[in-house]
Amino acid sequence: MNILINKEYRDKIQEYSLFFQEKEGIIHMNQLVLAGYLAKDPELTYTPNGHAKCIIRLAVDSDEKDGDTGEYKTDFIDVIAWRKEAENAGNHLLKGRFVVVDAKVKPRSYENSEGKRVYVTDIVANRIQYGPKPALQQA
């Protein structure tokens, strides 16, 4: 399945991709742009300190084909939004909605209950742009 996006969202993706930071003549960049459909409703929660956290799962077309069917595979990618962006996503998005996410990759580690160091890579949203609502959500 190929996703066709309108010019507005294509322009936004290009605009986001121009963001970079230059140090000592070398471009250093930690930016990710994802465009896809919500695979399920967002999960909005609050930390003990009262900060909003929302996890959205995006269904994004892959460039890899399934060996059996020959169809393109779909990747499911979890994205974390915080504070106001999280509240907006949790209150306004539903499964099936098309979004464009400007995000960064955020590595972290923690010690699990067995005392072992666990390394995790999160995708953290900077900004979420909403596409048109699916026909069933138009009401």
Is 7 part of a structural domain of the chain?
Answer: no
Is 118 part of a structural domain of the chain?
Answer: yes
Is 69 part of a structural domain of the chain?
Answer: yes
- Domain with residue 73: its CATH number is 2.40.50.140
Domain extent for 123: 31-137
Residue pair 42/60 in contact (Cβ under 8 Å)? The answer is: no
The number of domains in the chain is 1
- As given in the structure block, the two tokens for residue 99 are 């979004």
Is 45 part of a structural domain of the chain?
Answer: yes
Say what the pLDDT of residue 13 is: 58
pLDDT in tens, 14-29: 555 555 445 555 566 7
Say what the pLDDT of residue 94 is: 94
Amino acid in the structure at residue 139: A
d(CA 37, CA 76): 10
Is 114 part of a structural domain of the chain?
Answer: yes
pLDDT in tens, 80-114: 999 999 999 999 999 999 999 999 999 999 999 99
pLDDT in tens, 36-71: 999 999 999 999 999 999 999 999 988 888 888 888
Say what the pLDDT of residue 14 is: 59
Is 11 part of a structural domain of the chain?
Answer: no
What is the b/e burial string over 27-45, where b = at least 16 CB atoms within 10 angstroms of the residue's CB?
eeeeebbbbbbbbeebebe
